[in-house]
Amino acid sequence: MKASVEAPSNIAFVKYWGARDLERAIPNHPSISMSLSVCRSLCTADFRDGDGGADDVWLIEEDGTRRRPDAKFSERACRHLDQLRRLTERRGRFVVGTRNTFPSAAGIASSASGFAALTLAAMRALGREPDGPELSSLARLSGSGSAARSVLGGYVEWPRGATDDECFAFPLAAASHWDLRDVIAVVEAEAKKVPSRDGHRLASSSPHYARRRELVPGRLETVRAAIHDRDLDALGPVIEEEGIELHLIAMSSRPPVYYWRPETLAVLARVRELREEGVSAWSTMDAGANVHVICAAAEEPAVATALASTAGVERVIRDGVGDGPRALASHLL
C-alpha cells in the first residue's frame, strides 16, 4: 500500500494561460511542452486502508528530515487525495512525502511535476495503474493543468479536444526524437508572491488576451512542425513570443501581475547577445522571474557559461528533454 515515483517538470513552448474552468483546469486552448530530465518531483504515498483520520502531508528535505508544507499546499494536496479516493471507492488515509530537485513555486513548473507525481504515487498505492489518458486526466483534477503534461515524457500536447472527456495530454514525440537542452537561469529561487492560479484567473481581463487566442492556432502548427523537423530556428522565435506574451498579459491584467525582476531583463538581453555571437539560443519563461534558455546539445556548455556570468543569476540548472514518470526503488517515508 506504499508507492514512490518521480515525475518531470516541463517547460511550455506554447503556454497554458487562462482557462474556461480553472477549478477543473480546462484550458481555453491547447499547449505544447517539453518534459525535463533534471527538474523532477519525488513522491511517496502510503495508503492505510480503513484507517480513519486526516491525511498527513510532509515536505522531505534532501537529508530526509520532514517539515510541514504551507496550509495552501497541504489543503490542495488533501483535496486531490479525496478525489482519488472517491474515484476508486476506497476508504482510508494517506501519509505523503514529497520533495523537488529544484526551487519550488518559482516559475519552473513545480506544481506540474509535484501533482503528477502525487497522482501516480497515490493511484499506485490504491492498487491502480492508470493508462496515459486517464492518468493525465486525473493529474489535471488537481487544478494544475500543466500536471496533465508532466505524466508523459518527451514532447507533449494538451489537450486533445475541447470536451472534458478529451482533456488529456498526448505525446507528440519521444525524448529520443530531439535532444534539446534547457539551461535555466535562476534569478529568484524564492516562491513567487502571486501564484500561477491567480495569474490564470486574471488573464482574460487583459485587453491583449483576445488577440492571443487568435494567434495561438498558428503557433501550435509552427511548433508541431518544428518538433517534427527538429528545426530550432523555426521553434525559437515562437517560444520567445510565447514567453514574452504570457508576461505581457500578466502585466496588463486587472490588477496587473509583475513576475519579472531586473535580473530577468539582463538574462533576456544576454540571450539576444548570444544569438548575435552565432549561438542559437532562445528564451522562454513561465509564470516567474526565472528564464529557460532552449538550445541544441552542442551549444549547452557555451549557454550555461554565459548565463552563469550574467549579473543577478544565482545559479544555472543544466537540464534538457527527458522521459516521463518512473518508479523509485526507495521510499521517502
CATH number, residue 139: 3.30.230.10
Q: How many whole angstroms separate alpha carbon 295 and alpha carbon 318?
A: 11
What is the number of other CB atoms lying within 10 angstroms of the CB of residue 128? 16
171 and 195 assigned to the same domain:
no
Give SS3 for 299. Answer: helix
Give a yes or no: residue 7 inside a domain: yes
Which residue from 195, 185, 213 is spatially nearest to 294, judged by alpha carbons? 185
Model confidence band, residue 140 (pLDDT cutoffs 50, 70, 90): very high
Backbone angles phi, psi at 106, to 5 degrees: -120, 20
pLDDT at 51 > cutoff 90 = no
Domain end: 176, 195, 222, which one?
Answer: 176
185 and 239 assigned to the same domain:
yes
50 and 157 assigned to the same domain:
yes
Give a yes or no: residue 327 inside a domain: no
pLDDT at 163 > cutoff 80 = no
What is the number of other CB atoms lying within 10 angstroms of the CB of residue 118? 29
Give a yes or no: residue 325 inside a domain: no
304 and 190 assigned to the same domain:
yes
Give a yes or no: residue 328 inside a domain: no
Domain end: 159, 176, 193, which one?
Answer: 176
Model confidence band, residue 150 (pLDDT cutoffs 50, 70, 90): very high
219 and 263 assigned to the same domain:
yes
Question: Whose grid coordinates read 489537450?
Answer: 159
Domain end: 176, 193, 220, which one?
Answer: 176
Q: Return the exposure string of 216-228: e unless at least 16 CB atoms fall within 10 Å of the residue's CB, then b.
A: beebbebbbebbe
Question: Whose grid coordinates read 500543466?
Answer: 146
Structural domain span for residue 254:
177-320
Model confidence band, residue 77 (pLDDT cutoffs 50, 70, 90): very high
91 and 231 assigned to the same domain:
no
pLDDT of amino acid 123: 97
Model confidence band, residue 275 (pLDDT cutoffs 50, 70, 90): very high
Read off the pLDDT of each residue in 208-229 and give the average, rounded to a whole number: 97
Q: How many whole angstroms separate alpha carbon 194 and alpha carbon 259?
A: 8
44 and 187 assigned to the same domain:
no
Q: How far is CA 333 from the centre of its chain?
A: 25
232 and 255 assigned to the same domain:
yes
Q: Do residues 244 and 35 make contact, with C-beta atoms less than 8 angstroms apart?
A: no
pLDDT of amino acid 161: 77
How much is the pTM?
0.96
pLDDT of amino acid 332: 96
Model confidence band, residue 251 (pLDDT cutoffs 50, 70, 90): very high
Q: Do residues 46 and 55 make contact, with C-beta atoms less than 8 angstroms apart?
A: no
Domain count, the chain: 2
